[in-house]
Each structure stands twice: as structure tokens, then as C-alpha cells.
Amino acid sequence: MLKLAVIFLIVGLVLGGLGFGGIGGAFVGIAKILFFIALALFVIFLVLGLVAGKKVKDTL
């Protein structure tokens, strides 16, 4: 997902540089949304991994 965010960001910057501001802005907006979704998923899985790791450690 982070890879898609970087691709959308690069395409949006290229389009903005070429003068297609509306489409470029849309691509940058999509890149922002994908980045924040990836960041939220990272935090969720980090917390779940820490909680699950403690439970496994306690059972041993």
C-alpha cells in the first residue's frame, strides 16, 4: 500500500509540474489517503503484535 502511495505521489507531482494541476492534486490527495491508511495499519499491527507477544511469552 505504501508503494502505491509513492507511485501516486510521483505521478501527481509530475502532472502538477506539467501543468495539469487538477489531476495532479487529485493524485496527491489519493497518495495522502493511502499513506495514512498504511500508517494506521502499521500502528494497529504493531499493537497487536506486542499484545500477542506478551501472551505467548506468559504461557511459556
What value does the CA radius of gyration of the chain take, rounded to a whole number of Å?
18
Reported as a single tens digit per residue, the pLDDT across 25-60 is 999 999 999 999 999 999 999 999 888 877 766 666
Q: How much of the chain is helix, strand and coil, in % rounded to 5?
A: 90, 0, 10
What residues does each domain of the chain span? 2-59
Read off the pTM.
Answer: 0.76
What are the contacts of 37-44 at 24+ separation with CB within 8 A?
37/1, 38/1, 38/2, 38/5, 41/1
Reported as a single tens digit per residue, the pLDDT across 7-31 is 999 999 999 999 898 999 999 999 9
